[in-house]
């Protein structure tokens, strides 16, 4: 008991110091009376490794602050602004009696210290996420946004994404503003660039996260937003030179293409965001969830009714080959579209439910009509929001590795996912069994060689519920 209390009295960062001398610590914690543990200098002597795993993520950059020797081990923290998560809404209510609209401060409210949490605990009130990539990458960022929401209660999350990626946030209720700005552009329009810097600066962010691999250029863009924490991925090669100077936290991905990481492509960032702090345990990464508004559902229902199918009696087919930008592929898996002939073979065996072909561009409609027939149900959908609504009303999904797979997993619809290789399948749908998702992968590593018979056998799962009814 006493040892437990004494351990609690210690500031938290001391705790991870112990692994380097586990035997001493073990004996110390077994003592019933361990007053010396309060002595910070002694606990320092116990372990002389400077700062082992508390700063595991922060590669200390001596250029940023040459006098930053880490946390002071002799510092004593109270629990006031240093422990636990931040408050949901620290703003006191407005005083109803006051004609000038002043706030009504409760007794003992110190305006001067109210913002201390921002400094000590590292509160984040406004957070901006700059996300590179298209729909798929943005969709996979949803769990991270949820994590931020859970880790920093009351945070306002804004998003900066490419025009296509921005459409994804129709499905996300946790985001406040979503602005279209293509961070991937190497030579942005100077007017747009400066305008965006001005907008971001005006919003006074506490933290700006970026999933674009930053070099000096992108790092200076983040720096100019004057956010307190500038967190970004950096290039894993020489291109990252100088970026660390302008960023407060950097992640080095394993390879140049972040999307190769599959479903957990942002794992370094989520690791860091969910890191344990004083009085806060590690924040688990929530599963991918999307929410679809009623308006959107109604709109899409009208759309697929026009195409000739009813709610709950169709299968969504997604991943028809075309050169459209709206095919919602991942950047980590370029071989993820099947020609319409293959789709015709796959869907030929489906009976009981109707396949709905999702085309990313109107020009594909003719091809589909040529091969499937005039009576084929075709829905033109280019935004992830409508696709999600369509999937939500369907029996299931047959799709190659496009956003449709992730959306069906998020809405917990049965899904047959066609992958070019087994490794890709494991990367992009990590726990397929739990998610009602059947992965069928090509043996040769080329998606076009995929075994049609296996798919035909798998497709039968969509007919079972009807047979039961």
Partner 1 sequence: MAEAILSFSKIIKPNAPTSCLQTTRLDLNSLSSKSLRQSYSSSGFSHGCQKIEGSKNKRAELQKMRALPDLTLMAVLVEHMEGQRDMITHKSIWHLSDVAMKNVYTFYIMFTCWGCCFFGSTKDPYYDSEQYRKDGGDGTGHWVYEKQEDIEETARGALWREELIEEIEQKVGGLRELEEAGKKEEELVR
Q: Which residues bind partner 1 (CB under 8 A)?
A: 169-170, 172-179, 291, 293-295
Nearer to partner 1, 115 or 293 (CB): 293
Residues 144, 152 contacting (CB under 8 angstroms): no
Token representation of residue 32: 């019933």
Q: CB 254: neighbour CB atoms within 10 A?
A: 11
* Smallest gap from residue 407 Cβ to partner 1 (A): 16
Give the nearest distance from C-beta 205 to partner 1 in angstroms.
16
Q: Which is nearer to partner 1, 145 or 317 (CB)?
A: 145
Q: Specify the residue, 102 or 177, whose C-beta has the smaller distance to partner 1.
A: 177
Q: Residue 210: what are its φ and ψ, rounded to 5°?
A: -135, 135
Rg of the chain over Cα atoms, rounded to whole angstroms, equals 26
Task: State in angstroms the smallest separation of the CB of 173 from partner 1.
Answer: 4
Q: Provide the minimum distance between the beta carbon of 314 and partner 1 in the complex, in angstroms, as a whole number.
A: 24
Q: Which is nearer to partner 1, 179 or 451 (CB)?
A: 179
CA–CA gap between residue 130 and residue 266 (Å, rounded): 13
Q: How near is the Cβ of 177 to partner 1 at its closest, in Å?
A: 6
Q: How far is the CB of 191 from partner 1 (least distance, A)?
A: 13
| Residue number with CB closer to partner 1 (355 or 385) | 385
Nearer to partner 1, 105 or 177 (CB): 177
How far apart (Å, rounded) are the C-alpha atoms in residues 272 and 247?
15
Nearer to partner 1, 310 or 412 (CB): 412
Q: How far is the CB of 182 from partner 1 (least distance, A)?
A: 16
Report yes or no: 167 and 131 within 8 Å, Cβ to Cβ: no
**Minimum distance from residue 325 beta carbon to partner 1 (Å):** 19
Nearer to partner 1, 145 or 399 (CB): 145
162 vs 248, beta carbon nearer partner 1: 162
Q: Least distance from C-beta 187 to partner 1, angstroms?
A: 24
As measured in angstroms, the least distance from the Cβ of 157 to partner 1 is: 11
């Amino acid at each position: 008991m006493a040892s437990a209390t004494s351990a609690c009295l210690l500031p938290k960062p001391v705790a991870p110091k112990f692994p380097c001398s586990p035997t001493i610590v073990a004996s110390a914690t077994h003592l019933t009376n361990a007053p010396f543990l309060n002595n910070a200098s002694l606990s320092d002597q116990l372990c002389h490794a400077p700062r082992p795993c508390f700063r595991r993520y922060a590669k200390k950059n001596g250029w940023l602050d040459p006098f930053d020797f880490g946390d002071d081990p002799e510092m004593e923290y109270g629990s006031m602004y240093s422990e636990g998560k931040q408050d949901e809404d620290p703003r006191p209510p407005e005083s109803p009696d006051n004609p000038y609209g002043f706030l009504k401060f409760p007794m003992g409210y110190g305006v001067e210290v109210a913002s201390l949490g921002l400094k000590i605990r590292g509160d984040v009130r406004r957070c901006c996420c700059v996300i590179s990539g298209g729909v798929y990458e943005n969709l996979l960022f949803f769990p991270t946004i949820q994590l931020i929401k859970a880790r920093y209660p009351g945070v306002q999350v804004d998003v900066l994404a490419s025009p296509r990626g921005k459409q994804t946030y129709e499905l996300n209720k946790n985001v406040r503003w979503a602005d279209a700005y293509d961070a991937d552009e190497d030579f942005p329009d100077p007017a747009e660039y400066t305008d965006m810097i001005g907008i971001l600066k005006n919003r006074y962010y506490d933290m700006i996260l970026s999933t674009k691999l930053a070099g000096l250029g992108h790092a200076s863009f983040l720096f100019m937003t004057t956010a307190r924490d500038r967190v970004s991925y950096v290039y894993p090669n020489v291109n990252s030179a100088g970026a660390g100077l302008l960023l407060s936290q950097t992640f080095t991905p394993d390879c140049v293409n972040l999307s190769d990481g599959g479903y957990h492509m942002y794992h370094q960032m989520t690791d860091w965001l969910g890191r344990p702090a004083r009085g806060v345990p590690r924040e688990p990464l929530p599963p991918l969830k999307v929410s679809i508004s009623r308006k959107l559902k109604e709109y899409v229902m009208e759309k697929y009714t026009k195409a000739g199918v009813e709610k709950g009696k169709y299968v969504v087919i997604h991943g028809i080959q075309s050169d459209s930008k709206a095919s919602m592929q991942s950047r980590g898996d370029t071989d993820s579209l099947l020609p319409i002939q293959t789709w015709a073979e796959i869907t030929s065996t489906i009976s009981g439910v109707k396949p709905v072909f999702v085309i990313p561009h109107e020009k594909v409609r003719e091809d589909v009509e040529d091969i499937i027939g005039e009576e084929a149900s075709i829905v033109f959908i280019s935004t992830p929001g409508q696709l999600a609504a369509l999937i939500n009303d369907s029996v299931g999904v047959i799709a190659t590795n496009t956003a449709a797979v992730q959306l069906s997993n998020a809405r917990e619809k049965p899904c047959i996912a066609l992958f070019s290789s087994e490794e890709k399948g494991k990367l992009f749908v990590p726990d397929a069994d739990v998610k009602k998702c059947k992965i069928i992968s090509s043996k040769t590593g080329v998606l076009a060689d995929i075994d049609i018979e296996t798919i035909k056998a798998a497709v039968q799962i969509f007919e079972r519920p009807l047979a039961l009814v």
